[in-house]
Structure 1
Amino acid sequence: METTTFTIYSSIAQLPVTWDVVAAENAFLQTPYLKVLEASAPTNMQCFYIGVFEASELMGVALAQYLDLNKLESFGERDQCLKTYIRNFVFKNFASHVLFLGNNMITGQNGYAFTKNIDHKSISKLLMACSDEIIKYFKNQQITIHIVSFKDFYQPCAEELKQYGFAGMYEFNTQPNMVFELPDSWKTNDDYIAALSKKYRDQYKRSHKKFEGIITKELSVEEIVSKEDRIYELYYHVAKNAPFNTFFLARNHFSTFKEQCGDRFVLCGYFLNEKLVGFHTLLLNGTVLETYFLGYDEQVQKEKMLYLNMLYNMTKFGIEHQFRKIIFGRTALEIKSSVGAAPIQMTGFIYHTNKWIDQLMSKVFPKLEPSLAWQQRHPFK
């Protein structure tokens, strides 16, 4: 790694022409998606794009995101309790300027990609150096970064990284990533239904009966633009009722996504009496189907089991298009496991730039996380 250097860019227009060649294995690091972030990132987010060079050849790419939590009206309104108020006070006053090495908007190890095998010691050293450089950039603007987080590593990678540059950092495990590994033998949705045990086959039938009257339709970019306000209203209802949020999407996010990524981005609308009452989104990422943000009308969701039917529809799409696995992400762990997803533990590393506060991280951080109790379901025979 002696000949390795990095350059941090603040604009897509500055990126090397071979960027997408290096990022070929991950759609979340390719320029169409990065252009979505540039054009419609959350209002409290600024993105940085990192190019890693060996001599003059680009051999690695990475993403960093700065969040200003002072610009958030709410961190999430579902849990109104003393613990939530304390958490919000702490974030506003001691952790409002946050730097993520990785992508805070999605779940999974999507922070970097290399064309060559790089040892974990070098990766940790590189990520630390990049974070130091961005901290300096903000210091020059009289902004102090409070928290630095390196997010979402699968366990084998995390175990390696903490042997090196991440050794002194607080290691945290939040909600797991719900991943559905699809068997090669499944060719149609009927194969999936046949694999379910009687209890979960009955759940499938019951939810589909409740679903009667709902029309689903994949929306074109023109239709997304024409329904932008309603789509955002449905998204925002779900987002603000989450237990914790560090951002809210821009109003034009979904139409921008469709414009930039075309057929690789799917927005499926759910209509009742010709009114849009819900939607879900997907990103086709090679052999992996990534679920993205969704939204729904709360009343219709209860009456029609809308959310569960969305999960079934995403599963059907994944099977029929022969994806290897579906990334369902965090939240709603139990209902996702009832469809077939299993929890994969994700690890992050975090530190506070104030060394005195950082020493308290192991005591403070667990108290700030939303509490979680859930039972994993096993729906197959």
Structure 2
Amino acid sequence: MKPPISIKTYSSTANLPQNWNELAIDNIFLNKDYLAILEKSAPRNMFCHFIGLFKDNELVGIALSQFLDLNKMESFGERDKCVKTAVRNTVFKNFCSHILIIGNNMLTGQNAYSFSDKIDKTQGLQALKTASKKLEIIFKNKGLKVHITTFKDFPIEETTAFQQAGFQNYFQYSTQPNMVFNISNHWKSEQDYFDALSKKYRDQYKRARKKEEGVEKRKMHLEDIIKHEETIYDLYYHVAKNAHFNTFFLPKNHFRTFKEILKDKFLFYGYFLDEKLIGFNTLIKNGEVMDTYFLGYDESVQREKMLYLNMLYDMIAYSINKGFKKIIFARTALEIKSSVGAKPMEMYGYAQHTNPFADLVFEKAFSYLEPTVSWKERNPFK
């Protein structure tokens, strides 16, 4: 018989076990430093807990949970104004406004947990299911009833472990794919990437690069981020509020906090036109993987200068030059990311409504409410 797993939840990184980072060695997004960023600058409608799993008093698993209170959201996204959107917003406010996530709602990919080889994945997932129930009680004691508990974002090969861990009563869902750019071993420079493109996409590259003439790209340091904080937030907020669907908005100090804590592992690039900041993008070094993070731009300049496409090319060029193996381009803007060479990777999640009656219709409601995005996959390479 397997020894039982004990569970501890923490609301402060100061209280985490000393050897926490030993289990986060393969994923910066479970590392104490990153968790400290969440602690200091999470969205105002998000509460984070950090979960430790113990076997014989030894730390054998770590996980992140986020509680979202959608009642604190002014807007869920302003791009789609229609009856369906209005219905969706009403349903979310009244029946789905308190969401408990095992995972990270601010990123795409498996950033939920890490287990040591002292426990198998099934055992770890069973313990996390128990941990989610404990967290429901914690929030209930604060007067916050959890409506939905969800475990997100897992590749297809992880779904078997969830079934074995007893998640059959949860609704398995798949939303927009994670766009992943794999860097060829043969590429050593941006020119190698360009040479691998077919003529149509080499022409696209040349057209975009020509359009951005006059735009200056600058690597921004902490003092620069602080100096331009108001403009940075305005550029970010413009892009965020025009997304299909939003469950949070970053606080103004988020990028400053990131740079303060992660230092050179967090890259911030500003794009200037006539000395005015017109856009920015951010990258996070995660071992051999480069994760793209939030960006922002001035819409009036973006189209004319093909700013977003040029940002994608810049991220690719930097990642090739620095020897990264892949880039996580995440969700949104699927077709344009596909046009530069990113491939879709289906991600799966598990969700359950805490009300048994609501849970019966949850699957149908989710399918109706989840924004659908039609796009065409591209293959830009020869």
TM-score, length of structure 1 as denominator length: 0.99
Moved over 3 A (4+): none
1:163 shift after superposition:
3.6
| Gap change, CA 1:192 and 1:375, over 3 Å in 2 | same
1:117 shift after superposition:
5.8
User: Kindly, what percent of the aligned residue pairs are identical?
Assistant: 54
Question: Is 2:272 the partner of 1:281?
Answer: no
Amino acid at match of 2:236: Y
What is the distance in 2 between the residues matched to 1:220 and 1:363? 47
Q: Which residue of 2 aligns with 1:42?
A: 43
Larger deviation: 261-270 or 122-131? 122-131
The 8 Å contact of residues 207 and 308 in structure 1, kept in 2 or not, is answered as yes
The 8 Å contact of residues 115 and 121 in structure 2, kept in 1 or not, is answered as no
1:195 shift after superposition:
0.2
1:1-381 counterparts in 2 under 5 A? 1-116=2-117, 118-381=119-382
Larger deviation: 156-165 or 47-56? 156-165
The 8 Å contact of residues 288 and 324 in structure 2, kept in 1 or not, is answered as yes
Larger deviation: 116-125 or 71-80? 116-125
What is the distance in 2 between the residues matched to 1:373 and 1:162? 30
What is the distance in 1 between the residues matched to 2:292 and 2:77? 21
The 8 Å contact of residues 180 and 328 in structure 2, kept in 1 or not, is answered as yes
TM-score, length of structure 2 as denominator length: 0.98
Q: Which secondary structure does the structure 1 equivalent of 2:378 belong to?
A: coil
Q: Report Cα offsets for 1:144-185 as digits up to 9, x if no partner.
A: 100111000110101331243211111110000000011111
In the alignment, structure 1 segments of 5+ residues that lack a partner are: none
1:53 shift after superposition:
1.4
What is the distance in 2 between the residues matched to 1:311 and 1:118? 39
Q: How many residues align?
A: 381
What is the distance in 2 between the residues matched to 1:89 and 1:375? 31
Q: Which secondary structure does the structure 1 equivalent of 2:363 belong to?
A: helix
In the alignment, structure 2 segments of 5+ residues that lack a partner are: none
What is the distance in 2 between the residues matched to 1:302 and 1:141? 47
1:138 shift after superposition:
1.1
Q: Which secondary structure does the structure 1 equivalent of 2:270 belong to?
A: strand
1:143 shift after superposition:
1.6
Q: Which secondary structure does the structure 1 equivalent of 2:133 belong to?
A: helix
What is the distance in 2 between the residues matched to 1:35 and 1:51? 16
The 8 Å contact of residues 128 and 165 in structure 1, kept in 2 or not, is answered as no
What is the distance in 2 between the residues matched to 1:169 and 1:26? 26
1:31 shift after superposition:
1.1
The 8 Å contact of residues 188 and 321 in structure 2, kept in 1 or not, is answered as yes
